[in-house]
Chain A
Amino acid sequence: MGQKEHKASIIERKKEVTTSLENLGLKIYEQMEKGYFPSIEMPSRSTENIYYDPNFRQFILGDRKVRRTARNIRHIRPFTQLVWAAFFSHELATQRKTSTLRDVYYSAQAYEMSFKDQQESNNIITDLETILGFSREDFNIFPEERSAVFGDLTIEYTVPGYEGKTLNLTSHPDGVMIGPALTSSEFVETSANKVIAIEKGGLFTRFIEENVHKKFNAILVLTAGQAPRATRHFIRRLNRELNLPVYIFTDGDPWGMHIAMVIISGSANAAHLRELTTPDAKWSGVWATDIVNYKLPTDPLDEVDIKRLYELQRDPRYKDPLWQREIKTFLKIKRKAEQEAFSRYGLTYIVDEYLPAKLEETK
């Protein structure tokens, strides 16, 4: 599957998705019509076929293919599930409905298609993503976990009942949930010149209260821990469509570091997908060196943290000198700090001092 660059229009993209689903159906239909057992070829997602591509700055799938054929007794069940999932996604798209992975698992039963567990149905959806090169959000299948956005960005809805309606993302002081409706919106206009992604809800609210969006001309995105795919895709769109630089603030520990990395370079699990990464995004803090420089209150790293750091040290995504330096520093100081640690210098210190300094440093 070639890389699908973003189409300006959300509507056009939806159309592209439905057409590719229909083409998949047609391909299978024609094979059967000719008296063959239908089969589908797709890139293998086994770990031996996942490579880090320095050009894309993300994991990609290699050339190895797997063939699913209805002729093989062990393939026919997942094959049928796959065709059903394509059919179900198409129904969702044409009826403009959305769904969740959990929902898919239950919906199958209405068609006498049984999945033995959630994992089996999730795998089938991932197969469909791999074959068509679209992510499940494009099939209107959304995750349960939600994150939020706040800032001066006007969007125009495309979901039924809201077509043409616009909304400014400063209109709600808690931020606007990045759900199916927002994900499928068009960007109309913005005065912002940067995006700041924040790991934790507390800091996100503090930033809104302290008018960070105004002071720094920024759109604020709450990742709420590891950013959901829809949020990663949304950040990418802010970066690509509006040409906004992206700065990521996380806790100062290996897990926070990796939240930033997944936004930047994606995960191995999503090696079959593009358009979820923002390679130019910057991890702005909290770094290990910040812990030292700002004399932050800390907790000791535990065994799991240290093990994780050694793993990250060998990870191709972390080969950049900045990351390697920070990993080494963590291993040296054996301490970690949360974003809230800046509060020891007063509630506004982080906004007044730390943030501008780091934005400048990682520009």
Chain B
Amino acid sequence: MAQVTFEEISASDFFYRNRDIAGFTNPSRAIFAAVRELVENSLDAAESLKIPPDIYVRLSYEEEASRETQVYRLRVEDNGIGVPPRHIPSAFGQVLFGSKYKLKQQRGTFGLGGKMAILYGQITTHQPAIVISSTGMSKIYMYKLMIDIQRNRPIILDRKVLINKERWRGTIVEFCLEGDYLRAMPKILEYFKQTAMVNPYANLTFVDPKGRLYKFTRVTKEMPDPPKETLPHPYGVDVELLQRLIHVTPYKNMLEFLRNHFHRVGEITARKFLEFANISPSKKPKKLSHQEIVRLMHMLKKFKGFLPPDANCLSPLGEELLRAGIVKELKPDFVAVHQRKPSTYAGHPFIVEVGIAYGGEIPKKGSFVIYRFANRIPLLYDEASDVSVKVINAMNWRRYKVTPDMPIAILVHVCSTKIPYKTVGKEFIADRPEVRREIANGLREVARQIQRFLTKREHVDREKRRLGVFSRYLPKIAQFSTKLAGREKPPDVKKLLRSVRKFGAEGT
């Protein structure tokens, strides 16, 4: 009989074996994902201090790797919060370590995006990563790291401490990875453009392997308020979360446990709930059996007395910034934006922001240009499956005088503590009725605004055409009738032309 062995694998090992989850599917996706993960970490690092981000990305060619792939060196510099020196090795060399395990709106997802990129680089090139960071104090720390994949531990190859005379603050990450830039290029450039659109307060610089410079300059220093951390809402909890809370809680009875670990639960609500669930307020949380925990979760979801979650933990862009971003990147003739009031699905708060733009640099391609964002991250893949696209396609645009042949761009931004992604690839948002309804209502609002614009423009165009027709023909009538009548001087048509404007639209 064959021996079956069970072995525990480390988190690094797990992600190494399942890199598809983090988007490192193929050489082209991998290089895109690496750029994206590091840029987003940098944006978060700057925004958490409410500093307008300055991010510099350089991708340079190192050598051929295979027939279709090359080795590139990726360097990302930011002016963010910086990483305290003792955390640097773990933050960049240990998967599932990081600051992103509390409930607030965040770009990154597992706290592993950046590390995944470094891990991928190490797997494909066997070269260490270099991390330089300072929190703006007197020293700068430089680490040369590799990841021990089996044990999920950082290996420090070198460490230097530099004097920070200029009080630089920020983080620089540099490592090598294998990829296919030529195939990834369109997506990477599109990623920068769209990122610039929803981060109009950021300076983004990208130098590609051919030495081409792409610069996206900020148009404002205004920034949205950073999201506040929040407790989980009772409607959104699962058994796993309950068990973890019970494990760590210092509170000795259920009343205190509910009051202190859940969002929107005060003493009165907690008492009402416990009565509803038939649980004694003095029961010790740690004494709950597994069955009781499962029952608790079901009762939490069933109870109607909880207030909906507060949206403080969300950081939408706001109409001003959304408008500024669209104007900056698309230079449209018209733009309308709208932010919906906070709403919830399954206990998770979310806010939908939409924008619509007409003309300018938006191409006429026979269908709308659609920009999708989730927590300020551009979603560039699987457009057809996204809930926004479904809503857009289901709308009767003709009602708003909008036709697909117009140069129109539509932007949908969903922000939430938990974006309802459909797949682990996190490239499109699932069709949740609550989310769908908010997107549809938002789009209707901006559609009404563009309808007013299009109607007005049509009117102006018609007036222009009318005037054009009259100024073309009236002088000719004057000319020919003068000759026919045998007169010298043609009658003055200026007065007639002036009165044309006043008539309005007779004859239509």
Residues of A within 8 A of B (CB): 21-22, 24-26, 28-30, 32-33, 35, 37-38, 70-77, 79-80, 83-84, 86-87, 90, 111-113
Contacts and interface: CB of A to CB of B under 8 A. Distances in A.
Given A29-B487, A77-B469, A86 B480 contact: yes
B477 interface: yes
Contacts of B503: 71
Given A73-B469, A80-B473, A32 B493 contact: yes
B484 A26 contact: yes
A83 B484 contact: yes
A86 B484 contact: yes
Contact of A25 (B466, B481, B506, B507): B481
B480 A84 contact: yes
Given A35-B495, A35-B496, A73-B466, A29 B473 contact: no
Contacts of A111: 476
Contact of B477 (A30, A35, A38, A73): A38
Interface of B: 466, 469-470, 473-474, 476-478, 480-487, 491, 493, 495-496, 503, 506-508
B469 A32 contact: no
B507 A72 contact: yes
B485 A25 contact: yes
16 contacts: A22-B485, A25-B481, A25-B482, A25-B484, A29-B485, A32-B491, A32-B496, A38-B481, A73-B470, A75-B507, A77-B469, A80-B473, A80-B480, A83-B481, A90-B483, A90-B484
B484 A21 contact: yes
Nearest to B484: A25
A74 B482 CA distance: 23
Q: Enumerate the 6 nearest inter-chain pairs by beta-carbon distance, A residue then B residue, closest first.
A: A25-B484, A32-B491, A28-B481, A87-B480, A26-B485, A29-B485
Contact of A79 (B477, B487, B496): B477
Nearest to A83: B480
A32 B478 contact: yes
Contacts of B484: 21-22, 24-26, 28-29, 83, 86-87, 90
A87 B473 contact: no
A79 B477 CA distance: 8
Contacts of B495: 35
B474, B480, B506: residue with the most chain A Cβ atoms closer than 10 Å: B480
Contacts of A73: 466, 469-470, 506-508
Nearest to B496: A37
Given A32-B491, A37-B496, A73-B507, A87 B474 contact: no
A89 to B, nearest CB: 9
A22, A28, A74, A77: residue with the most chain B Cβ atoms closer than 10 Å: A28
A75 B466 CA distance: 12
Contacts of A76: 469-470, 473-474, 477
Contacts of A86: 480, 484
A7 B218 CA distance: 86
A113 B476 contact: yes
Nearest to A25: B484
B463 to A, nearest CB: 11
Contact of B474 (A25, A70, A72, A90): A70
B505 to A, nearest CB: 9
Nearest to A89: B484
A76 B493 CA distance: 14
A70 B473 contact: yes
Given A37-B496, A72-B506, A73-B466, A32 B477 contact: yes
Contact of A29 (B470, B474, B476, B491): B491
A84 B496 contact: no
A86 B491 CA distance: 18
